[in-house]
Amino acid sequence: MVTYLRAGAGVSLINYLIWQWDWIIDLEHIYRVTGRDIVRNTANGFPLDDDTLNANFFGHPYSGSMFFGAARSTGLTIWESAPYVLGGSLMWELLSESQKPSGNDLVTTTLGGFAIGEITHRISSLALDDSTTGISRLTREVLAFGVSPPRGVNRVLTTDAWTDGAPPLPKPARIVAHAGLDRVAAGTVTDNARFGPSMFIAVDAEYGNLLPALGKTTIPAYDFFDFYAAAVLTTQRTSGFEVGSVGLLQGWSSDLTDDDGPFRSNNVFGIVQSTDFQGADALEFAGFGLGVGDFLVLRDGPHKRLRLGADAGWAPLAAVSSAVNPFIGTGSARDYNFSMGGSVGLSLRWDMGPVGHLGLAARAYATTVVNGTPGDERFGSARLWYEVEAVRNLLGVGMAPKVMYRNGDYQGGRSDVATQVSLQFYGTLRL
């Protein structure tokens, strides 16, 4: 019971600190909440709001990941931590703003916060090692705090940050940092605009090897996921963030060979969750997915492997920036319609030993507008990359072309079509 109360206190503290900042520092009037506001909030339902795409599909999921991290870092399981994300979002919507509570915030905060929260929790675990001391221990604790701030705070409060302990169990993971130039050769085309080269930094993570534990045929939630996050640094309007993930909520594995060793080939069918925020481009979109997927893994020793994946599911909430929306010419910052529909994803990772690493991440959406200008919207992206290491398991170089598109048909015969093509050249650092 104490653990559950600690988790709830952590979520409440996060909301309080954000509310205090918005009220005292930003001086936003909507955060001056009265008892009458709270009563009205509980009676008015949950309409969709007019915030920016960045706020609704990046800011709120990140806040949700803080709620999740506050609960998860107390020792709760992934499923025990999940209700705290919804609870934290409800607390904010009902008690922290004088405007009507937002239904889309509940969806994006809960779904995105659950996924990003568990991913950052597991990546922070890779940095921690309670058996180390001195500068090594400090560096690891700082890294873990940067990835998952609630966990870092909890480790300080419980003295785990400096208490001696056993070394962590090794987890199969491939995490690579990128730094380089974006949109160099192919340029960028959308709405007849072109953009020059930009600096970018990114992290590409593959966690888990899609093999069940010895004697098992199932793979638990988020024992496998792909995660990619990037920031484009430029004075052009292509600056911003990009975050995408595909995580296995539950998997069932079938061996393809009689060998039961660590390099056997297998196939995994399962329930998957996806998050998608493309906010580092002039063509912006976002969506969340829940569905089924299949992953085929062919292995040939420790350094050669081919992984093919495909998934299809329901997108309960999605959005794409569009020139056809009801907010054109108004004071609203919203430049998109809310929509709902389906999504399909493809993934490939081919480790070819000294020859390099080839990868593909692609996702497409087909949705119907549920709030905005009535119509249908189709959008998506595909990123193909090739990387080769100059120093084994440390330094390398990479190249990645990427294409994004949107195609909308709206009421009154209106349409909106745009395509964006980019190319990245970057250095890699294996973490």
Instruction: Indicate the domain borders of the chain.
Output: 2-157, 173-430
The stretches of 73-133 forming alpha helices (DSSP H) are 78-95, 103-127
Read off the pLDDT of each residue in 297-307 and give the average, rounded to a whole number: 93
Tokens 């239904």 — which residue? 103
* Nearest Cα residue to 55 out of 286, 353, 297: 286
Read off the pLDDT of each residue in 361-377 and give the average, rounded to a whole number: 96
Indicate the burial class of 22 (C-beta count within 10 angstroms; 0-12, 13-18, 19 or more): middle
* Nearest Cα residue to 246 out of 231, 228, 265: 228
Query: Which pLDDT value is given to residue 49?
Result: 80
Spell out the residues 6+ positions from residue 9 whose beta carbon is closer than 8 angstroms to its own: none
Cα end-to-end span (Å), the chain: 38
The answer to whether residues 45 and 99 touch, using CB atoms and an 8 Å cutoff, is no
Rg of the chain in Å (alpha carbons):
22
Arithmetic mean of pLDDT over the chain? 89
User: pLDDT exceeding 70 applies to what percent of the chain?
Assistant: 90
Q: What is the pTM of this model?
A: 0.93
Query: Which pLDDT value is given to residue 277?
Result: 95
pLDDT tens figures, 189-246: 666 667 778 899 999 999 999 999 888 999 999 999 999 999 988 888 778 889 999 9
Spell out the residues 6+ positions from residue 260 whose beta carbon is closer than 8 angstroms to its own: none
Query: Which pLDDT value is given to residue 30?
Result: 60
* Residue 356 predicted with pLDDT over 90: yes
* Nearest Cα residue to 244 out of 222, 223, 229: 229
* Residue 419 predicted with pLDDT over 60: yes
Residues forming a β-bridge with 233: 199
Cα distances from 189 to residues 1, 232, 305, 335, 357, in angstroms, run: 56, 17, 36, 19, 28
Instruction: Please work out, in degrees rounded to the nearest 5, the angle formed at the alpha carbon of residue 33 by the alpha carbons of 32 and 36.
Output: 140
Count CB atoms within 10 A of the CB of residue 312.
Answer: 14
Q: Which two tokens mark 195?
A: 């953009």
The answer to whether residues 269 and 294 touch, using CB atoms and an 8 Å cutoff, is yes
Domain 173-430 top-level CATH class: mainly beta
Confidence band (pLDDT; 50, 70, 90) for 273?
A: very high
Query: Which pLDDT value is given to residue 45?
Result: 67
Query: Which pLDDT value is given to residue 32?
Result: 61
Q: Which two tokens mark 255?
A: 């061996």
Read off the pLDDT of each residue in 89-109 and give the average, rounded to a whole number: 77
Query: Which pLDDT value is given to residue 134?
Result: 92
| Distance from C-alpha of 428 to C-alpha of 336, rounded to nearest angstrom | 35
Confidence band (pLDDT; 50, 70, 90) for 363?
A: very high
Instruction: Please work out, in degrees rounded to the nearest 5, the angle formed at the alpha carbon of residue 127 by the alpha carbons of 122 and 133.
Output: 140
* Residue 92 predicted with pLDDT over 90: no
Query: Which pLDDT value is given to residue 37?
Result: 60
| Distance from C-alpha of 23 to C-alpha of 43, rounded to nearest angstrom | 24
| Distance from C-alpha of 183 to C-alpha of 338, rounded to nearest angstrom | 29
Query: Which pLDDT value is given to residue 33?
Result: 61
Read off the pLDDT of each residue in 133-156 and give the average, rounded to a whole number: 94
